[in-house]
Amino acid sequence: MSEQPSFTWPVRVYFEDTDTGGVVYHAGYLRYYERCRTEWLRARGWSQQVLMSGQGVAFAVRSMSVEWIAPARLDDLLEVQLSVRQMRGASMRVDQRIVRAGDGVVLSSAQVRVASVRVPDFRPVPIPDALLESLTA
């Protein structure tokens, strides 16, 4: 992700996020990435609950490639960044990274493909037009 992110979400590393050495366990980064994607939707006026109950649509991670570059530690303030790379009819690809606020050190990066699925059966479904419009604006 070489350009400016289209969305950034701050995260503080709490004791519950770390192992006994005060370092964030590798799976913890996935929660940070998920929270960022959820808050990105919310910032555009779409909560996950409204999408599921009102639109009958949910987003499911189809694939994810993650690199862990440097450790996040207890009390670090992080910026979880998101940039949209591709929007398609029923899917999107976003690049994300986690950067330590203050010194800007990149701690992790991820490329995520997300599928739009129908809630009852999790079959692919086109992203609703209004949602697609707000995500590409």
Domain range summary for the chain, segments of one domain joined by +: 7-136
C-alpha separations of 74 from 16, 66, 80, 126 in Å = 9, 21, 16, 41
For the stretch 53-109, pLDDT in tens is 999 999 999 999 999 999 999 999 999 999 999 999 999 999 999 999 999 999 999
Of the listed 17, 19, 75, 95, which one is catalytic? 19
Arithmetic mean of pLDDT over the chain: 94
Q: Are strands 91-100 and 57-68 parallel, antiparallel or unpaired?
A: unpaired
3 state SS of 4: coil
> What is the pLDDT at residue 84?
95
Architecture of domain 7-136: Roll (3.10)
Cα–Cα nearest to 114, from 128, 95, 93: 93
Digit-coded pLDDT (tens) for 25-69: 999 999 999 999 999 999 999 999 999 999 999 999 999 999 999
pLDDT at residue 11, as a whole number: 97
CA distance 99 to 26: 15
Reported residue count of the chain is 137
Q: What is the pTM of this model?
A: 0.93
The question of whether 19 is a catalytic residue gets the answer yes
pLDDT the model gives residue 1 = 58
C-alpha distances (whole Å) from 71 to each of 6, 99, 100 are: 24, 10, 10
Amino acid letter, residue 46: W
